[in-house]
Structures are given as C-alpha cells and as structure tokens.
A and B are shown apart, each in its own frame.
Chain A
Amino acid sequence: MTGLADKFQQTVEQRHSYARKWKQRTGGRVVGYLCTYLPEEVLYSAGVLPVRVMGGHEPQDVTEPHIAGYYCAWCRDTLAQGVLGRYDYLDGLVTAHSCMHIRQTFHSWVKHHPIPYSYYMYMPGQVHTPQAEECLCREIEAFKCSMEEWVGKDISEDAIRDAIQVYGKHRRLMGELYQGRKGAKVSFSGAEALSVVLSSQVMDKGEHNQWLEEALSAPSSGVDAPLRLMMLGSVIDDVALVELIESLGAMVVTDDSCTGTRYFGDNTPLHTDPYTHMARFQLRKPPCPIKDMEERRRPAHVLSLARDYGVQGAIFVQEKFCDPHASDFPTLRVALEQVDIPSLKLEVDVTTPLGQLRTRIEAFMEMLQVEV
C-alpha cells in the first residue's frame, strides 16, 4: 500500500496541521487524550475530535521542574509538547486513570497551561471483575454528562450508538489489516501498520475508516517475511525504529502495545446498552501491565499473538523508567523462552539512538537467523 502508507505516515507527521484544518473545516472542538483507556466514543458523539497526545522525540529541557528525570520518558515527552505549545489548538485535555507517570503529565499540563476543559475519568484496575464494570459504566455516564455541559448540548443516545458503530467498524477493519500479516505473505509491514494505528489516534475515525477500506481493498500479494518479529512495550510510536528493524531483514508482524493491538482490541459485540458496551470494550481489551493484576493475562495473550502470527523473535521496547512494564518483563521473557522465542530488550528515552540500537538489533537478528 505504498501510496496509502505515505498518506497515513504523513498524517502522523503532520498531525497538528490535520487537527487545525479539521477544526477550521468543521468548527468543532479538539480534545487531547493521554491514555487509550478513554472511551473516545463519548467525545466523538459530542462532535469533538479526540486526538491522542504524542511525544516529539526531540531533546527538551522544559519538563524537569515538573516531572523528575526518573519518570517515564514518554510522559515527560508528552508534557514537553504541552509546555512548548505544540498542542495550542486543543480545547480540552482528558485522561483515564492509568499509571502515576501519566497522571503527572495531566496535572502539570492542566496546572501550568490552563485549557478550557479538562477531565480525569476513573478507569478501574480490576478489569476482570463485575464490580469494575458497574464502576466504569457510571464513570462513562458521568464523563458524558460533563461533556454535554461543556459543549452545551445533549448527546442523544442515537449519537452515542452512531459513535459506537463507527468505532466498532474501525476495530473490525484494524482486525482485518492485522489478519493480513498472519500468513507467509505479509500484506502490511510493521512500519506501515504502526503508521495506520498512529494516524487512527489523531484522525476523525469516520475518515480513517474510509482510508482503511481503501487500503484493504487495494490488491496486494504480500511479501515474504524472512524473520517474523513481535514488538512489546507501552507506547511504541517511533516509526523510524520499526523501519530500522525491517531494513535489517526482518518483518514486525504483530505487537503488544497501546499503539497497536491493545488499542483496537477485538470487535466482539459486547452489549446492547451503550455504556455497558463501551465499558466492556475498555475492560476486556488486552491489558497493559497496570490493568493486569491478580492472575496474569498478558503472558497468555502474548503467546497467543506469537502463535497466530508465527513469531520467531520478540523485541521489548521499554520506555526508560516505566516500572509497570519493567515488572512484567521477566515473566514475559520467560514465557516466550518456554516456547523457544528469544527476545531482546531495548530501552528507549525521549530520543531514540538509532545508531546504537542498530548494532544490538543486528546482533539479535544474527542470533535468530542461526537458530532459524
């Protein structure tokens, strides 16, 4: 999908311009969100464009007074974007409860760069319990009421159902796109798939669905994947890193990341009640470490992905100082080793040292090629 891939990638690179133009074109409001546990459907049903706030991967020196250097690099990078005014077109900033790192970004941003609207939605951690569902349904309803007050109009149930339909379609299409990466011939490279997911987090979902349908309907015989890799991490948003890996003779065929499979989950119809539906989607999608308490579900999920996509090696992309992912790493590494999937752990900071990483990735791939 060469032409389309460029279109998705360009949108990611020019995401601020996209949002400004959308605002100009529709007269609507744009709200930034920090964590993918937020039910975007509520924003969409209010006619608001949800835009995931992303880092800039550029050196910065503005966050130290707010967040100490030993907190997650992604959170510092996203706060830097706010402090530097890169998101000055936002009308609001919202987040769902996840880790302590992103909470700091939210609070510092709202405090020091006042924004017309801000909202903190609680997202339970015990996602597998019925109590969590009841709690989250109430929270989503409260968020909807807050949104109604802010935009100054009621959000009808039809509007919510429409939004659910658009998002459901998106998840189905993303599932189809990933399906095309399971066979021997891979329809979409890792870098292309990442661009698609990232663009979906900053674009109008209806428009993104159209682009996706176009991409999926384009004839593609796929390409051979000499080495099939999986990437695991919190927020893998650096397309250049994936391009580097793939330029060395591997193909990233799947991922466990909130810029990948954890974002769109699956598209199982969940409930006729819209709030229960939205809650269940957030509660049942593949969990990040913070939402994977008690008996672990991540190892089984990761192994299932590895099996379905024929993965031969795994690369952990660890945001520096992210303690939840650091806690899960030894368990996941062992789980993968038990099914003969070697892994490599890369630690990344605000900036990605591609030259250094190249050497390590090459060595890992040489080892894999010997084993394969």
Chain B
Amino acid sequence: MLRTEYPTRPLECWPKMKELRRTLFREYWENQDKGNPLMLGGYGNLSSLPSGVDGRGAGLGIYYARVMRDRDLLLKCHQTMDEMGYGPEICATLRVNLASMFMGFQMRSPKGKLYKPDFIIEFHICDSQSKSTQIAWEHYQIPYFVLEIPLFPPERVETGKDYMVAQMDACIRWMEKVTGKEYDDEKLIKAVYNEWDGRVLWSRVAEFQKATPAPLDQKMFNSFATLMMWGPHQQPVTEVLWELYDETRQRVDEGIAAVSTERCRLLHEGQPPWFHRAFLRYPNLYGASYLGSAYLWGLWGAFGADEDGTWTVPLTPRERGTVLRNREDALRSLADLALDHSPIVTSHMVAPQVAATVKMVKDWHVDGVVLHIDRGCKGQSAANAETRLALREENIPCMVYESNNADPREFSEAQVMDRMDSFLESLGVSRLEAFSSGKDEED
C-alpha cells in the first residue's frame, strides 16, 4: 500500500540549476580560448581570489562525477595510481583525479581539445589535497601557489586571519606576475560580496531542513553543491541559490516534503560512496530521509556558533552594511569568512567537529546518524570515531560503516545495506511496501 503522508513535488528551480551547471562547464573550457587563465586546485574555497584575473578553476577533477558513474574507468584509475606507486593511503578522491591527469583525460575538453592549465592555486585546509596538487604541479610544470587556511582556536584566530590576509595579498601579486595581467580589485570586491551571499544562502537553505517534513534531502543538496564547487563568487550561482532559497521557504510554508513518507530523519556524516547512486536514497524505502550533514552544509555554508554551540547563520557584508572599499577590506572579509564562519575549516579539528555534529543532531531534530568510517577520506572522517562516542553519551542512535567514498573495491554493498536495514528497524521504522519520493529529477 502506498503510504503518502506529505505532499511532494519536484523543485521548480531544478532545470535552471542544471542549465547553469552546463554553462559553467562549457565556460570553463572556453576560458583559456578567451585569453583568461585556466587554473587547477581550489574546489570552490575562496573562489573569489582568482576572479581578479578572470581565472576559472574546478579543483583537480572536472570529470570526477563522470568517473564515478563508470565502474570500469574508476577501477582503471585506481589501478593506474597503484602502478605508479601512489598507495591506497592517499585520499581516494584525489587518486581518481590524479589518475585522470596521468591517463590524459583530465584537461581534455568534450570537444577533444587538450588544454594545459596556466597555474595551480591550492587552498590548503586538507593536507592530502595539497600534497595531490603538488603531484599535479610536477606533472604539468606550471606555476603553483599554496595558500594555507590555518586552524586556529577562537582565542587566537586574529593571528590566523592576519596570516591569511598576508598570504592572499602575496597570491594576488603572484597571479599578476604569472599571468602578466593587472589584478582587478573591483572584480575581487564584487566576487567577495557574492561569495558571502552564496555561502550564507547555502546555510539558510540548510536551516530550512529543520522543518518537518524536510523540504529537501541530501541528494538534492549534492546536486546544487556542484554550483558551489564552481564558485559561489559568481553572480549566476547566487541567483540560482536565491531561487532555491525562495522556493525552499515556500515548500516549508506549504509543507512540501522531499520524501512524502518522511517519518525518520537521518544525517550521513562523511562523504557517501559516490559511485553508488542509490545509496543516499536507500532509507527512503523505510520512510526515512537523509537531511544533509555537517560535512555537506559545513563544506559550502557559512555558519557560526552560539555560546551553547547552536549553529547560527551570520549576516552577509551587504546585510551588515559593511562596505568593502579596497583590496585589503575584501581580503579581510574573506579571512573572516574562512576562519570565523567555515565549519569545513574547524571540521579538521576533532573536538569542535564532534560538538558541532551533536548539536546539529538536536537542532535539526534528527533521529539517527550514519557515520562513514571512510578509508578514502581521512580528513572528513577523522572525527567520526569520537563523534560516535559523543552521540552514544547523548543516547542518540548511530550506525557506523567502514568503506571508501571513491573506491568500490572497499564497499561491501550487501553488508552495508544489511546494516542499514537493521539500524532503521532499530529506529522503529519498517520497510514500506511502496513509497513516493517526489524526486523524479536526475541528479
């Protein structure tokens, strides 16, 4: 029997998001042909910075999602890295991205043209990521700059901000030198306003997930996350995020659910197994839904914390009436964003990450947490063991599975799903005979 409790419908801004993703992908390949730099590194963090020289980047793996959908190619990527001596200790995502470079398709456009990137900028939060771009630098022999985003406790964070501002200033001078272009501070300032807007919007949409029923689910967020990786500093990205924000608010007002049968709310902490497309929808079979995660919302969002640890969304510079008059103001604002309001930065410290996850569970009315002990991403799963202990102390149900976000050889589907079945049953929900998710969209 179909058990529908809440109305549901697809997101109306979905086609626009898809179209923008296609546009950004196309523009990436056209950037160098237009005389602008093509860069590697970044993954969307501090994406405003290269905008002063019209630089465009997309991390190291523009074809990452494509590889995740092709098991044979994915395995060949890992095999390539094994043969070159890069062991399985190294981040699995980055192994795939580096393999795409060694195998020669990383910088080949869909039209077949092979590009050589102009430079690499790595925003160093994750050590593995930064070591990977070093390998890319050796491969391409192009200019390379690492900008460190330091991990400081709140009481000494000003030292960290000064360090960041000094580095960003040096990075700008370096970009001018390696591109021969004069850096445009006006473009930077505009980008910084946008980056703040985009990241705050992401957080506000995440806040809507506190509602019952949740208006979105984690897989829907993942699809929009691609825009964040291209860079929230871009006006078209913030425009789509505004639409997502307005529409999600409307869904909350009208009680529109992502999962019509929602009766159990979950968080999934750590990266999911990206190669398994149905993984994040599996709980739907039980009327359960992944709302999101501290990882996903913290990676792209801007949050702060109240004294009791409650996740709070800061006002943007525009909302605060802060005028960014010059480069220094813009860089200082980026440092504030990175070190005061970026959970992805503090997530690399175990204690704050554990506390933040526990608080999120309470504030988002979560029934259970699934923790991925992810051999493929040591950085984002580092706190998960301690998080399990903390959740247990609070009598919050959680489940642990050990796998690898980007290597299917380490994912035992039968075992993981079997464990999911048991976990969901322990939460008091049983398998539905049929369900309606309201998500007919392709991701």
Residues in chain A within 8 A of chain B (CB atoms) = 64-68, 70-71, 97, 99-101, 103-104, 107-108, 110-111, 120, 122, 124-126, 129, 131-132, 134-135, 138-139, 142, 289-290, 293-296, 320-324, 326-331, 333
A-B contact pairs, 8 of them (CB 8 A): A125-B124, A125-B127, A129-B167, A135-B162, A293-B148, A294-B145, A323-B131, A333-B85
Complex: A1 Cα to B304 Cα, angstroms: 59
Residue among A139, A142, A329 making CB contact with B87, cutoff 8 Å? A329
Residue among B90, B167, B373 making CB contact with A68, cutoff 8 Å? B373
Complex: A126 Cα to B348 Cα, angstroms: 18
* A99 proximity list for chain B (CB < 8 A): 127
B363 sits at the interface (CB 8 A): no
* A107 proximity list for chain B (CB < 8 A): 349-351, 386
13 A-B pairs besides A289-B131, A323-B128 with CB distance below 8 A are A64-B385, A66-B389, A68-B373, A70-B373, A100-B378, A103-B349, A107-B350, A122-B159, A131-B170, A293-B148, A294-B145, A294-B146, A326-B87
B382 sits at the interface (CB 8 A): yes
Q: How far is the CB of B239 from chain A (nearest CB, A)?
A: 35
Which residues 365-396 of B have a CB within 8 angstroms of A?
A: 373, 375, 378-379, 381-382, 384-386, 388-389
Please state if A328 and B131 are interface contacts (CB–CB under 8 Å).
yes
Chain A to chain B: the 5 pairs with minimum beta-carbon distance, closest first? A107-B350, A327-B131, A330-B85, A135-B163, A131-B166
Complex: A138 Cα to B375 Cα, angstroms: 36
Please state if A111 and B159 are interface contacts (CB–CB under 8 Å).
no
Please state if A70 and B382 are interface contacts (CB–CB under 8 Å).
no
Which residues 115-153 of B have a CB within 8 angstroms of A?
A: 122, 124, 127-128, 130-132, 134-135, 137-138, 144-146, 148, 150-153
Residue among B86, B128, B163, B386 facing the most chain A CB atoms (10 A cut-off): B163
Contacts A100-B348, A131-B166, A293-B130 known; A70 to B375 CB distance under 8 Å? Answer: yes
* B135 proximity list for chain A (CB < 8 A): 327, 331
Complex: A100 Cα to B373 Cα, angstroms: 15
* B138 proximity list for chain A (CB < 8 A): 296, 331
Complex: A290 Cα to B378 Cα, angstroms: 15
Residue among B86, B350, B382 facing the most chain A CB atoms (10 A cut-off): B350
Complex: A110 Cα to B375 Cα, angstroms: 25
* B385 proximity list for chain A (CB < 8 A): 64-68
Q: How far is the CB of B159 from chain A (nearest CB, A)?
A: 5
Complex: A230 Cα to B144 Cα, angstroms: 31
On chain B, which size bracket covers the interface?
A: 35 or more
Please state if B386 and A111 are interface contacts (CB–CB under 8 Å).
yes
Complex: A283 Cα to B212 Cα, angstroms: 52
* B122 proximity list for chain A (CB < 8 A): 293
Please state if A122 and B152 are interface contacts (CB–CB under 8 Å).
yes
Residue among A103, A110, A324 making CB contact with B348, cutoff 8 Å? A103
Please state if B148 and A124 are interface contacts (CB–CB under 8 Å).
yes
* A97 proximity list for chain B (CB < 8 A): 150-151
B49 sits at the interface (CB 8 A): no
Q: Which residue of A lies closest to B400 (CB)?
A: A68
Residue among A70, A124, A129, A321 facing the most chain B CB atoms (10 A cut-off): A70
Complex: A279 Cα to B137 Cα, angstroms: 28
Please state if B381 and A327 are interface contacts (CB–CB under 8 Å).
no
Q: Which residue of A lies closest to B352 (CB)?
A: A107
B89 sits at the interface (CB 8 A): yes
* B148 proximity list for chain A (CB < 8 A): 124-126, 293
Please state if B373 and A321 are interface contacts (CB–CB under 8 Å).
no
Please state if A142 and B159 are interface contacts (CB–CB under 8 Å).
yes
Complex: A131 Cα to B165 Cα, angstroms: 9
Which residues 263-300 of B have a CB within 8 angstroms of A?
A: none
B156 sits at the interface (CB 8 A): yes
B402 sits at the interface (CB 8 A): yes
Q: How far is the CB of A345 from chain B (nearest CB, A)?
A: 9
Complex: A131 Cα to B378 Cα, angstroms: 28
Q: Which residue of A lies closest to B150 (CB)?
A: A122
* A124 proximity list for chain B (CB < 8 A): 148, 150, 163
Complex: A111 Cα to B353 Cα, angstroms: 13
B424 sits at the interface (CB 8 A): no
Digitize B341-353: 1 where CB-to-A-CB distance is under 8 Å, 0 elsewhere: 0000000111100
Complex: A181 Cα to B10 Cα, angstroms: 72
* B389 proximity list for chain A (CB < 8 A): 65-66
Q: How far is the CB of B271 from chain A (nearest CB, A)?
A: 14
Q: How far is the CB of B151 from chain A (nearest CB, A)?
A: 6
Contacts A103-B348, A293-B130, A330-B85 known; A135 to B159 CB distance under 8 Å? Answer: yes
Please state if B159 and A131 are interface contacts (CB–CB under 8 Å).
no
Q: Which residue of B lies closest to A132 (CB)?
A: B163
Q: How far is the CB of A281 from chain B (nearest CB, A)?
A: 19
* A296 proximity list for chain B (CB < 8 A): 134, 138
* B44 proximity list for chain A (CB < 8 A): none
Please state if B90 and A323 are interface contacts (CB–CB under 8 Å).
yes
Q: How far is the CB of A233 from chain B (nearest CB, A)?
A: 13
Please state if B127 and A324 are interface contacts (CB–CB under 8 Å).
yes
Please state if B163 and A321 are interface contacts (CB–CB under 8 Å).
no
Which residues 294-328 of B have a CB within 8 angstroms of A?
A: none
B231 sits at the interface (CB 8 A): no
Digitize B78-97: 1 where CB-to-A-CB distance is under 8 Å, 0 elsewhere: 00000011110111000000
Contacts A103-B350, A107-B386 known; A329 to B381 CB distance under 8 Å? Answer: no
Complex: A360 Cα to B349 Cα, angstroms: 39
Complex: A138 Cα to B87 Cα, angstroms: 37
